[in-house]
Chains A and B, each alone.
Chain A
Amino acid sequence: MAIEPVDSAVEPRHRAEVPGQALPSAVRIGLSRVVPELKMFYRRPEQVVLTFSMPAVICLLLGSIFTAKLPGTDTSTGAVIAASMLAYGILSTSFVNLGIGIAADRETGALRRLRGTPATASSYFIGKIMLVAIASLAEAIILLSVGVLFFRLHLPTNVFGWLTLTWVFLLGIVSCSLLGIFVSNLVSNALSAAVITNGPAVGLQFLSGTYVPLMVLPTWMLIVGSIFPIKWMAQGFRSVLLPPELAAFEPAGSWEHGRIFLVLAAWGAVGLLACLSVFRWSDQD
């Protein structure tokens, strides 16, 4: 049936477009989302408790089991685990948190709604990245406190040590966040996201030296673990929180700072490309 043109004379009640103020920049919209993102995070107590207490509790438990000193040193295996556990902490505040959070935003329609506004994808991610940065910093402080108080870890005493701690921390957050964003695109709901993030996260702890010291792992586990960023993050944290002579217990016999940097940077680059190619606003086309 043909459609008739607009023939019913509609009163010209259309409001003329008022020249509005200029749109805020994507960055400004992004920064305005930081506080709401934090509120949405801390108003889920179960999520907060899980994110912050799991690594600390596991650290305390494993540290209490592995109390023997490493041969020829004054450092316990528990201290080695405590230093490495920082990597697990960051993994849960970045990879797991973002993987589930973004899948949930897609599932509830939050992303679709945002897409109907002048906010851009970068606005959204600025809010998320700031949330991850703040949560990761809090997690690091908790785990460093546990390590210093219970396992006699030493905070860096020189600029070089703090610098190393900072770049390992930042590169770790960036690469794990990007992988979390990527994974959130592979699933259609928050529940699947919880499985697909926590599953590999827990599995990798065994291969990466955070639950079990690397020196007791069979070679194949070491090889598999070395593919992923957690092993390298943990190694970086050990290099600044443990005495220098502990380098002898690393698989390579040294801290390998150059390689840590390269592997984490490579994961960051791969993660970024993967995200750019798959990011979806919604679960449909």
Chain B
Amino acid sequence: MTAAISVRGLSKIYGRLSAVRELDLDVGYGEIFAILGPNGAGKTTTIEILEGHRRRDAGQVHVLGEDPGTAGRSWRARIGIVLQEVSDFGMLTVLETVRMFAKCYGKARIPEELLELVGLASSSASRVRTLSGGQRRRLDVALGIISEPELLFLDEPTTGFDPEARRQFWQIIRLLADDGTTILLTTHYLEEAAALADRVAVMAGGRLTAVDSPARLTAHANSVATVRWMEGTVLHVEQTDHPTELIRQRSTDGSELAQLTVSRPSLEDAYLHLIGLA
């Protein structure tokens, strides 16, 4: 089976700025795939090209087997898009907005059930402009999944959320993924990529610097463990591939090593390494 998303040599230039350079990417059907990177890395430009919202300057792009630049209405019924910043339809109520968008599709979820699913049922009669940031984002997701899309794009879905709201949001995403929806999300939160994604692409300066599972991405960057302990007032730091052996040697007399820690590089270390900041 072909991939849900297949990208070869994608480039996008704004004036003199190369926002995306020679990007290759494959996302399989049913995958949750995260593009992780700092602001300005080219994540949004990339996802917008895949959504058909932006023209590309070079490269081949196939999304659900079609070129987003020329794909038609039936293709758009198969994808769902959660845009980064929207403030539209403030004067309609939540339910009115959902109903209006349901009319755009041949098959659509039942609006009341959809609002239940994203946790907005109690706000269905509220005007959209009175919603909090988190509620607003839930509505965005509701509109994105209204037609039960095969592929869902989420552009920085939880930016500005408090940790509690973020965790609740992740639950919704996992629910959709369990249902078989392929999900491509961009984020600049490491823990979000680690918590949700089957595979993570790290993006910096318009290029992908690595693509792998969150765990293996960490292993890629640095497999060495760091052992720290105190001897008197002196801090010892040693990097080794065999931390157990090191500790056994240091405590042959059975003595306790003061303030002993063994640490592996976190995803954050790996990430900083990959975007060239460490």
- Among residues of B, the one whose C-beta sits closest to the C-beta of A44 is B91
Contacting pair B77 A20 (CB below 8 A): yes
Q: Does A49 contact B (CB under 8 A)?
A: no
- Among residues of A, the one whose C-beta sits closest to the C-beta of B3 is A6
Bound: A179/B97 CA distance, A? 28
Using known A-B contacts A40-B91, A112-B83, determine if residue A24 contacts B106 with beta carbons closer than 8 Å.
yes
Which residues of A (239-285) have their CB < 8 Å from a CB of B? Answer: 281-282, 284-285
CB neighbours of A13 from chain B (8 A): 30, 177-178, 180
Q: Does B74 contact A (CB under 8 A)?
A: yes
CB neighbours of B4 from chain A (8 A): 14
Using known A-B contacts A8-B213, A15-B179, A118-B76, determine if residue A21 contacts B107 with beta carbons closer than 8 Å.
yes
Number of interface residues of A (CB under 8 A): 46
Contacting pair A110 B89 (CB below 8 A): yes
Binding-face segment, B21-29, B184-192, B228-236: B21-29
0/1 per residue, A21-57, Cβ < 8 Å to B? Answer: 1111000110011001001100110000000000000
Q: Does B226 contact A (CB under 8 A)?
A: no
Contacting pair B105 A117 (CB below 8 A): yes
Q: Does B79 contact A (CB under 8 A)?
A: yes
Q: Does A119 contact B (CB under 8 A)?
A: yes
0/1 per residue, B51-68, Cβ < 8 Å to A? Answer: 111110000000000000
Using known A-B contacts A3-B25, A6-B26, A11-B30, determine if residue A110 contacts B77 with beta carbons closer than 8 Å.
no
Using known A-B contacts A20-B106, A118-B76, determine if residue A12 contacts B30 with beta carbons closer than 8 Å.
yes
CB neighbours of A110 from chain B (8 A): 86, 88-89
Q: Does A120 contact B (CB under 8 A)?
A: yes
CB neighbours of A29 from chain B (8 A): 103-104
Bound: A237/B31 CA distance, A? 64
- Among residues of B, the one whose C-beta sits closest to the C-beta of A4 is B211
Using known A-B contacts A110-B88, A116-B81, determine if residue A284 contacts B106 with beta carbons closer than 8 Å.
no
Q: Does A69 contact B (CB under 8 A)?
A: no
Bound: A120/B73 CA distance, A? 8
Q: Which of B92, B100, B212 has the most CB of A within 10 A?
A: B100
Contacting pair A20 B76 (CB below 8 A): no
Using known A-B contacts A1-B209, A23-B73, determine if residue A10 contacts B28 with beta carbons closer than 8 Å.
yes
Contacting pair A109 B199 (CB below 8 A): no
- Among residues of A, the one whose C-beta sits closest to the C-beta of B179 is A15
- Among residues of B, the one whose C-beta sits closest to the C-beta of A118 is B73
CB neighbours of B177 from chain A (8 A): 13
Which residues of B (80-96) have their CB < 8 Å from a CB of A? Answer: 80-81, 83, 85-92, 96
Contacting pair A24 B104 (CB below 8 A): yes
A115 to chain B, nearest CB (A): 7
Contacting pair A118 B105 (CB below 8 A): yes
CB neighbours of B198 from chain A (8 A): 8, 10
Q: Does A17 contact B (CB under 8 A)?
A: yes
Bound: A112/B53 CA distance, A? 8
Using known A-B contacts A14-B30, A115-B53, determine if residue A109 contacts B86 with beta carbons closer than 8 Å.
yes
Contacting pair B180 A39 (CB below 8 A): no
Contacting pair B88 A36 (CB below 8 A): no
Bound: A36/B98 CA distance, A? 11
Q: Which of A8, A14, A36 has the most CB of B within 10 A?
A: A14
Name the 4 nearest CB pairs between A and B, nearest first.
A15-B180, A109-B86, A110-B88, A14-B30
A residues in contact (CB < 8 Å) with B: 1, 3-6, 8, 10-15, 17-18, 20-24, 28-29, 32-33, 36, 39-40, 43-44, 105, 108-110, 112-120, 123, 281-282, 284-285
B residues in contact (CB < 8 Å) with A: 3-4, 24-26, 28-31, 51-55, 73-74, 76-81, 83, 85-92, 96-97, 100-101, 103-107, 127, 143, 147, 150, 177-182, 198-199, 201, 208-213
Q: A6-B3, A120-B73 are in contact. List 12 more A-B contacts (CB 8 A).
A: A10-B30, A10-B198, A20-B105, A24-B105, A40-B89, A40-B91, A44-B91, A105-B88, A108-B89, A113-B81, A113-B83, A116-B76
